[in-house]
């Protein structure tokens, strides 16, 4: 890296782990049980891209992704890019949403809130049985716990909070 060398440092550090494997591969392992995921260009009709350049300037196997992106767009796929700068992906998108830097998490949470609570677009069984969505969150930001220290969930039928492993749920 030129920056430390400019100050006479003999040390050299190089890795792609901080922007590739550190986040991408573990999340794919958790959500898809795979090391990597391939975008579904063939069946996608609306592509919302937040802070990435998939199909335009980044991601795995760029030349193949660029071709599949071009083919999908020829077949009518609409692309919306959400990021602060006019990147190559934003310049080629059908719409660019110039979000303020550092607000991407708020955007993602707002999008999820809208999908779940306003539009009711979600897989209820998946959320109940495969995620921590049913668990109640206390004022501390951690799970709400019973007197026995067990995580609490909301029982809609009973209209009250109950321990997650209560056989009556």
pLDDT(8) > 80: no
pLDDT tens-digit map of 33-76: 777 767 888 999 999 998 877 777 766 667 778 888 899 999 99
Q: What is the pLDDT of residue 2?
A: 61
pLDDT tens-digit map of 67-94: 888 999 999 999 999 999 999 889 999 9
> 107 with 92: CB under 8 angstroms?
no
Average predicted confidence (pLDDT) for the chain: 83
Q: 17 pLDDT band (50/70/90 cuts)?
A: low
Write down the domain spans for the chain: 1-37, 39-122, 126-169
Tokens of 160: 């009250």
pLDDT(10) > 70: no
Q: What is the pLDDT of residue 21?
A: 61
Q: What is the pLDDT of residue 56?
A: 74
> 58 with 24: CB under 8 angstroms?
no
Tell me the backbone φ, ψ of residue 48, rounded to 5 degrees.
-100, 115
CATH superfamily of this structure's domain 39-122 = Dimethylsulfoxide Reductase, domain 2 (3.40.228.10)
Rounded Cα distance, 104 and 97, in Å:
11
Q: What is the pLDDT of residue 114?
A: 96
Residue 101's Cα: distance from chain center in Å? Answer: 17
pLDDT(141) > 90: no
């Amino acid at each position: 890296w030129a920056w430390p060398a400019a100050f006479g440092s003999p040390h050299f550090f190089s890795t792609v782990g901080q922007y590739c494997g550190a986040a991408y591969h573990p999340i794919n392992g958790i959500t898809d049980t795979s090391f990597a995921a391939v975008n579904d260009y063939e069946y996608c009709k609306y592509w919302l891209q937040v802070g990435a350049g998939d199909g335009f300037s980044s991601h795995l196997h760029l030349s193949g992704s660029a071709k599949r992106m071009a083919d999908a767009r020829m077949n009518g796929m609409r692309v919306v890019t959400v990021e602060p700068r006019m990147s190559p992906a934003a310049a080629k998108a059908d719409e660019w949403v110039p979000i303020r830097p550092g607000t991407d998490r708020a955007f993602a949470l707002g999008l999820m809130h809208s999908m779940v609570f306003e539009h009711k677009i979600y897989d209820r069984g998946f959320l109940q049985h495969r995620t921590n969505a049913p668990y109640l969150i206390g004022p501390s930001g951690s799970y709400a716990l019973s007197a026995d220290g067990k995580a609490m969930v909301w029982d809609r039928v009973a209209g009250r909070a109950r321990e997650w492993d209560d056989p009556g749920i």
